[in-house]
Amino acid sequence: MDTGNAPSAQSDGLDPSLFEQAEFDPNAGERSGYSNYSYWRSTFRMFLKRKSALFFLIILVAILAFTFIQPLLPGQKSPTTIYQDPATSMQYRNVEPGHEFWFGTNSIGQDLWARIWSGTRTSLLLGLTVGIAEMLIGITFGALWGYVRGLDRPMTEIYNVLDNIPTTILLMLLAYIMRPSFKTMVIAMCSVGWLGLARFVRNQIVIIRDREYNLASRCIGTPTRRIILKNLLPYLVSVIMLQTALSIPGTIGWEVFLTYIGLGLPVNIPSLGNLVNEGRLIMMSPDLRYQLIFPTTVLSVITISFYVLGNAFSDASDPRNHV
Amino acid sequence: MNDRGDRQKLLEVKDLRVNFKVKGGAFTAVRGVSFDIYKGETFGLVGESGSGKTTIGRAIVRINSVSGGEILFKGRRISGRITRELDREVVQNIQMIFQDPMASLNERAKVDYIVSEGLYNIGKAKDEGARRAAVQKALLDVGLLPEFASRFPHEFSGGQRQRIGIARSLIMEPELVVADEPISALDVSIRAQVLNLLAELQRSMGLTYLFIAHDLSVVRFITDRIAVINKGELVELAETEELFARPLHPYTRALLSAIPVPDPIVQRQKRVVPYDPAVHDYSVQAPSWREVAPGHSVLASDEELARYRDALERGDTLAIV
Amino acid sequence: MQENGTILSVKDLVIKFRLRGRVLTAIRGASLELREGETLAIVGESGSGKSVFTKSFIGMLDQNGWVDSGSILFDGNDLAQYRKEEQWLGVRGKRISMVFQDPMTALNPLRPVGRQIQEVIELHQGLDGRQAQRAAVELLERVGITEPAMRSRQYPHEFSGGMRQRVVIAIAMACKPRILICDEPTTALDVTIQAQILGLIKALRSDFGFTTIYITHDLGVVADVADRVAVMYAGTIVERGTAEEVFYDPRHPYTWALLSSLPQLGVKGKPLYSISGTPPNLFNTITADAFAPRNPYALKVDFVRQPPEFRVTETHYASTWLLDPRAPAMEPPAAIRSMRDKYVARSAS
């Protein structure tokens, strides 16, 4: 054996006893390959790294919290009471924002500040309810549609028929038929909105249903229900949450639209739609414009927040960005 | 040489045909394949991509549907429409090991669930303590540490993941295991681990393997008999050493000559023999499956059969590797 | 090019990556010399860093990776110092070219194949459209595609896997590079196609005279193509030498393990020699020998300090403490010994 240039024993400071054979533990090798990657932890990190996402998250949470806290603060006014000047018994109509009424009053004397927060609460609640209901219906339909091969054809036909019905008209029809109320709005929006999510879920499932791990589950006899719940849906959580997040401002937008054409929530329930509508009616007079600006600003902030958050989450939850 | 007369036929594939619907008609992936697998043996099915070998494996475990012919397990037909109980029996007795360890495990589930998923399906997971014990045993059997049960697949290497997949199949206590290229996607040094594991499990659990592969040199080590498949048809079937010593069909010979040997001097002297289908003249007579010698069958026409028999009698040197 | 024919000289290269907020060292001090006209095979498994190592020669490290220290000397320039794209444009594709593993993703599915080759020729050789087109068709013929003029107008999906890889090779060859790096070019292909592609590369090599680096984990392919071999493990080169030296007289326990765990060398009925465990996690700083936990021949010093390179012959080096004169004499596994004996017998006859 020719080992020409080995270092001399004195120069490298290694004890000669180190040159004995070491004990061999076969399991030591098993442990060394551990990778500590966690999908959700990485998603969270990527999400928080985006300063804009953090910013809007804080704003949205602040708004949401405030809509619940506001009625509990001292000195708040009721959103529906018509306020009268005790001295003149005249209604405080169209009072500009000032010390007494922070956001002013509307044309019949209601406190705009209270109305805005109450309205925001209602609209957000509507958006969330519709979002969740759509999610449940859409996922169920979409998962079955995508996974059960026999259902693909008939469900696609149903989808094509339903998709061709103009959303606007359907919404208007449903809102018109049923009495105006919160429940009506929820039902109407859900009836229209689940279709998009179902299609989306179906497409995603078609992509992953023939992956090897699903074949393996079939091979060991896992029933369809459990394959959908444990194999397929967990992969779709992030994209479904994204879709739902984006649908909330959409729902609020529809609500505003329906209110415009008089088919929205009843007038006695303040909502952003009602407020924007009321503001619209008097927007031509410059000193009353505040009645439009305040609700519109709140609506815009909410919409922008959801979009930014939704997109940031979507980027963060893509494993390819986890670097 | 074992006397095959008294060995039980575990699986019989009879004239299997599988068609796939593609744009513009049907694509025949498997055209009339027949072979038997005996209890306790390791049967190798070797072919290149598109040969239909994976399709056959999947048809056996009922992932793909069969367009013609039948598959019998212990004498009962398991292809096509079968009763629920028979389906359940198939699930319990025939299992599959998949090729790509990166794709064959559910990333969002813990190893604990992945390994015991089958137990839930056959109703053996009622007792939580027994289930956990079964998972532990399965992990130990494949050389993994029981503490791995609470982790997720992404925390493991390819070789470890493949072993998790094997544990998943074995916990069902099957009789027949279809191994679909179980080591192709693994690193070279890990392949030996997994091959050893498969051999050890066969001994300790009395398993029968259908080993699907594209690498004849790997298959030589682990199989008792080998069938070579090309474009949906079997071209040759023989006991392993017989196939390597006396390969007859030109496709088999081409396949053997193309495999690079990890020995520089030998490899540089080797000449690659390409396979040209035109070397067969099937204009007069279509080939059929013939027995050339006991246990050694080839797809050949009469003329080729005569030639092969002569070559065997003369004792020509046919070995390539 | 230096006097002894070295055209690429890599010294103590360290490459790091930033991943999920932490820094991992993918290459921990690798040195290599490439002689003109030879074929060098880099053998390693996943996590060995073989791809990363060669990607640094053409500036194709991922965004989150960088060369931390060391040098890559090519044609009088230190490529390790390059920081800007412009510097790489004169090297990549022109003087050092790369063929990747998956031909389907290496080709643009939306453009005809001939145009993709043409692009490269126009970019680097400054030929105009008509001339470049002719050159492209010629190249297609050179790589063994029949009816090259007609096929140059076809799209990648109209070619089979092996044909696509030929196209990729044609693109890599378009500018007659000095060095061709092939990163597992045949792993995704069938065995018979693989044999054809390997034959093609050998033929082109003798025609064009370029130097080849082959990255692979398949020791059969190494035996087929390589003049010299470098074995990588966990970001370092653990053994390097001529093909004969590495196959018939390996010195590093990892090389022993790789060679003896081949099923081709196994005896039916007896377990194959296998390495337990998995390669180390590169997030953890490795101070000692990375292979030690899985090495049944490990000495205590393997857990203390990383071994330096020991010289076996002028061309053969291995980084293992077993070659230190203070180490006990160890016999390699049976399969290695029998390979060695066969070789000695063959040389003697």
**pLDDT tens digits, one per residue of A311-323:** 888 888 877 777 6
C113 φ/ψ angles, rounded to the nearest 5 degrees: -60, -40
Question: Mean pLDDT, to the nearest integer, of A104-126?
Answer: 84
pLDDT-derived band at C14 (thresholds 50, 70, 90) equals very high
- State if pTM tops 0.90: no
Rounded mean pLDDT of chain C? 88
Q: Does B107 touch chain A (CB under 8 A)?
A: yes
pLDDT beyond 90 at A26 = no
Residue A42 distance to chain C (closest CA, Å)? 7
The residue among A16 and B72 whose pLDDT is bigger is B72
Could you please state the CATH topology (level 3) that the domain comprising C6-226 is classified under: Rossmann fold (3.40.50)
Question: Mean pLDDT, to the nearest integer, of C96-116?
Answer: 88
The size of the B-C interface in CB pairs under 8 A is: 125
Residue C267 distance to chain B (closest CA, Å)? 7
Give per-residue pLDDT as tens, C281-313.
Answer: 777 777 888 888 888 888 888 888 889 899 999
Question: Mean pLDDT, to the nearest integer, of A185-212?
Answer: 88
CB contact under 8 A, B95 and A220: yes
pLDDT beyond 50 at A1 = no
Which residues make Cβ contacts (< 8 Å) with residue A170, sequence separation at least 6? Answer: A191, A192
Residue type (1 letter), B171: I
Q: Does B106 touch chain A (CB under 8 A)?
A: yes
CB contact under 8 A, A213 and B106: yes
Of the candidates C223, C243, C259, the beta carbon closest to that of B261 is on C223
CB contact under 8 A, C244 and B259: no
Residue B130 distance to chain C (closest CA, Å)? 28
Please report residues of C whose CB lies closer than 8 A to that of A32: 277-281, 293-294
| Residue A11: per-residue pLDDT | 64
Which residues make Cβ contacts (< 8 Å) with residue C326, sequence separation at least 6? Answer: A9, A16, A19
Question: C216: closest CA among C65, C48, C62, C74?
Answer: C48
Architecture of domain A51-321: Orthogonal Bundle (1.10)
**Sequence ranges of the domains in chain C:** 6-226, 243-348
Task: Identify the chains in contact with B, defined as 3+ C-beta pairs within 8 A.
Answer: A, C
Residue type (1 letter), B314: R
Residue with tokens 């790369």: C98
| Residue A34: per-residue pLDDT | 60
Of the candidates B217, B218, B264, the beta carbon closest to that of C223 is on B264
Q: Does B109 touch chain A (CB under 8 A)?
A: yes
Residue C57 distance to chain B (closest CA, Å)? 25
CB contact under 8 A, C198 and B260: yes
Question: Mean pLDDT, to the nearest integer, of C308-328?
Answer: 90
pLDDT beyond 90 at C276 = no
Comparing A106-115, A122-131, C12-21, C141-150, the range with the smallest average pLDDT is A106-115
Q: Does A213 touch chain B (CB under 8 A)?
A: yes
Q: Does C244 touch chain B (CB under 8 A)?
A: yes
Q: Does C243 touch chain B (CB under 8 A)?
A: yes
**Four-residue CA torsion sign, B248, B249, B252, B255:** positive
Residue B111 distance to chain A (closest CA, Å)? 13
Give C129-136 contacts, CB < 8 A, sequence gap 24+.
C135/C174, C136/C170, C136/C174
Give per-residue pLDDT as tens, C74-91.
Answer: 988 899 888 888 888 888
Query: Which residue in chain B has the smallest CA separation from A223?
Result: B121
**Four-residue CA torsion sign, A41, A42, A44, A49:** positive
Of the candidates C294, C301, C304, the beta carbon closest to that of A29 is on C294
Cβ-contact B209, B179 below 8 angstroms: yes
CB contact under 8 A, B155 and A230: no
> How far is Cα A105 from Cα A291, in angstroms, rounded to an integer?
8
Q: Does A229 touch chain B (CB under 8 A)?
A: no
Of the candidates B48, B199, B200, the beta carbon closest to that of C190 is on B48
Kindly give the pairing relationship between strand B25-38 and strand C22-35.
Answer: unpaired
Of the candidates A33, A216, A218, the beta carbon closest to that of B104 is on A216
Which residues make Cβ contacts (< 8 Å) with residue A267, sequence separation at least 6? Answer: A274
Question: A265: closest CA among A183, A194, A162?
Answer: A183
Question: Mean pLDDT, to the nearest integer, of A181-209?
Answer: 87
Question: A299: closest CA among A284, A283, A277?
Answer: A277
Q: What's the order of all strands across the beta sheet hosting C77-78? A: C22-35, C6-19, C65-74, C77-78
Structural domains of chain B ordered from first start: 8-245 (3.40.50.300), 246-276+286-321 (no CATH)
Residue B238 distance to chain C (closest CA, Å)? 17
Best to test chain C binding among B54, B187, B189 (most C CBs inside 10 Å): B189
Provide block-wise average pLDDT over 10 residues at a time, chain B (321 residues): 65 93 84 94 92 93 92 92 90 94 91 92 86 93 90 87 94 94 87 90 93 89 94 94 92 90 87 82 84 91 88 82 68
Please report residues of A whose CB lies closer than 8 A to that of B106: 213, 217, 230-231, 234
pLDDT beyond 50 at A93 = yes
Question: Mean pLDDT, to the nearest integer, of A201-228?
Answer: 91
Q: Does A224 touch chain B (CB under 8 A)?
A: no
Alpha helices in A224-271 (DSSP H): 224-226, 233-260
Percent residues over pLDDT 70 in chain A: 94
Give C63-66 contacts, CB < 8 A, sequence gap 24+.
C63/A323, C64/A323, C64/C17, C64/C18, C64/C19, C65/C15, C65/C16, C65/C17, C65/C18, C65/C26, C66/C15, C66/C16, C66/C17
**Sequence ranges of the domains in chain A:** 51-321
| H/E stretch holding B99 | none
| H/E stretch holding C235 | none
Residues recorded for chain B: 321
Give per-residue pLDDT as tens, A235-254.
Answer: 888 788 888 888 888 888 88
Residues recorded for chain C: 349
CB contact under 8 A, C326 and A26: no
| Residue B304: per-residue pLDDT | 87
Q: Does B60 touch chain A (CB under 8 A)?
A: no
Of the candidates C161, C220, C276, the beta carbon closest to that of B260 is on C220
Of the candidates C63, C277, C324, the beta carbon closest to that of A28 is on C277
Give per-residue pLDDT as tens, A264-293.
Answer: 788 778 888 888 888 888 878 887 788 888
| Residue A4: per-residue pLDDT | 45
Q: What's the order of all strands across the beta sheet hosting B296-300? A: B94-97, B176-180, B208-213, B42-46, B225-230, B233-239, B296-300, B288-293
| Residue A14: per-residue pLDDT | 76
CB contact under 8 A, B187 and C45: yes
The size of the A-C interface in CB pairs under 8 A is: 100
Q: Does B203 touch chain C (CB under 8 A)?
A: no
pLDDT beyond 70 at A33 = no
Comparing B163-172, B299-308, C125-134, C225-234, the range with the smallest average pLDDT is C125-134
> How far is Cα C202 from Cα A44, in angstroms, rounded to an integer?
50
CB contact under 8 A, C223 and B254: no
B315: β partners: none
Query: Which residue in chain A has the smallest CA separation from C274?
Result: A26
The residue among A91 and A67 whose pLDDT is bigger is A67
